[in-house]
Amino acid sequence: MGLRRLSNTNALKAKRERKMNCFPCCGGGGGDEAGEEVDNNCKSFKKKSKREFKEGNVLANLIATISFRSNSDRQRNMAEEILKLGNGEATIQVFTYNELAAATMNFKPESLLGEGGFGRVYKGRIESTNQDVAVKQLDRNGLQGNREFLVEVLMLSLLHHPNLVNLIGYCADGQHRMLVYEYMALGSLEGHLLDLPPNKKPLDWITRMKIAEGAAKGLEHLHDTANPPIIYRDLKASNILLDENFNPKLSDFGLAKLGPTGDRSHVSTRVMGTYGYCAPEYAMTGQLTTMSDIYSFGVVFLEIITGRRAIDTSRPTAEQNLVIWAQPLFKDRRKFTLMADPLLEGNYPVKGLYQALAVAAMCLQEEASVRPLISDVVSALAYLAAPSEDADDSNPPSPDRNSSADVEDGDGDKDEVGEVKSSSFKNKEEEKSD
């Protein structure tokens, strides 16, 4: 009897181990067929050499490597959902730790570009391709774990757009986790906008509007082109990188989530992101939609206009939260010019300022359903990014979704920024009736 119980225990243990270690690395499925696919995948993974992995499906290799170590079904399922964005094939390179150590001169301090809660970023050079790169070395004890690492590799491998940073490759050598990006010569928007040293030239108005337009286009690709849509969830000035011509690209996709599909109106998830940028409904309920990104964009755009941080504890109490400080000013056009970055020294079109503030106000509306669609925001910003002499001649398209984001003056009358309408955008109800 004892031997039979021991035998049954060992059988259950073996079955449990097989269940934990075997999974389909790409695609879904269920029932017996899925079980056979699981076993076949496991056998093929064990037979393949590291070299064969590199020549085959790079993403499947990564999912296998990360998920086998973590034994995480949720991680595997998340990866399979992301793979639906593409065909599972990606033109990214797999680097060894030694290759990236050589590229960064052994991660010497002189190569350090910056650091944060995730780890450090170094400038490097891949000699085989004569290419400058940025190597993000993830801190093993930092904020970005295996899940975030996997999400970022998969997302950036399958999504390509001029306003999304280009992922060149990754390293998952042993316990090392590193991401290799194209090198962005001018660093982050934060470094050119917020807390500038006296000797650094501030961004001019048109450059600011072009950066906002490019960032919005990157977000538009995630919301409207990706299928299912992607919610970025971490839009902020430090995550917008600039090339040598100030063209912006969104970076850091570790917190990105696949958006709701079918009849679902939102994705329920743990509240993550950066304080000051999170939409109020997401912060309170954990319910995430693309409108959450629109709110975050509104905060960043307000930073671009004002030169103020979303949260700045060095300022007086009433001015520490940028959105709270701006809300009463939105209602008094006599104070609009007080919201412009003092470093601009008045070198901006006043009407353009009013219209930019209208866009920001619409994105920052408390009720998510009346915020504008990102495609409408892009259209409005394309106008604002035009030469200033044109911006004063006529009204731009307004990212008007369900309202015109009323901006009132001190007497309660709607100001002209709230009257900016779009003849090129139909009301959403009109579109349905058509």
Task: Give the global pTM.
Answer: 0.74
Rg (CA), the chain: 25
CATH architecture under which domain 23-183 falls? 2-Layer Sandwich (3.30)
- Maximum separation of any 2 CA atoms in the chain, in Å: 93
Q: What is the pLDDT along the chain (434 residues), one digit of tens a residue?
A: 544 444 555 554 444 444 333 333 333 344 444 334 334 433 433 333 333 334 336 655 655 555 545 545 555 555 555 455 554 455 688 899 999 999 999 999 999 998 876 788 999 999 888 999 999 988 776 545 677 788 788 878 888 899 999 999 988 888 888 999 999 999 999 999 998 988 899 999 999 999 999 999 999 999 999 888 898 988 999 999 999 999 999 998 878 888 776 667 567 677 777 888 998 998 888 888 999 999 999 999 999 999 999 999 999 999 999 999 999 999 998 999 999 999 999 999 999 999 999 999 999 999 999 999 999 999 999 999 987 554 444 444 545 554 444 444 444 444 444 433 333 333 333 444 44
Question: What is the CB-side half-sphere exposure of residue 22 using CA atoms within 13 A?
Answer: 18
Judge whether 54 is annotated as a binding position.
Answer: no
User: Would strands 93-94 and 167-171 be described as parallel, antiparallel, or unpaired?
Assistant: parallel
220 and 161 Cβ atoms separated by less than 8 Å:
no
Domain residue ranges of the chain, discontinuous segments joined by +? 23-183, 190-433
Give the burial class of 328: count Cβ atoms within 10 A of its Cβ; 0-12 exposed, 13-18 middle, 19 or more buried: exposed
Q: How far apart are CA 252 and CA 164, in angstroms?
A: 10
Q: How far apart are CA 261 and CA 243, in angstroms?
A: 34
- What fold is seen in the domain 190-433? Transferase(Phosphotransferase); domain 1 (1.10.510)
Q: How far is CA 173 from CA 50, 89, 92, 135, 369, in A?
A: 11, 21, 15, 14, 45
Q: How far apart are CA 152 and CA 78, in angstroms?
A: 12
Q: How far apart are CA 322 and CA 306, in angstroms?
A: 9
What are the residue numbers of the active site?
Answer: 234
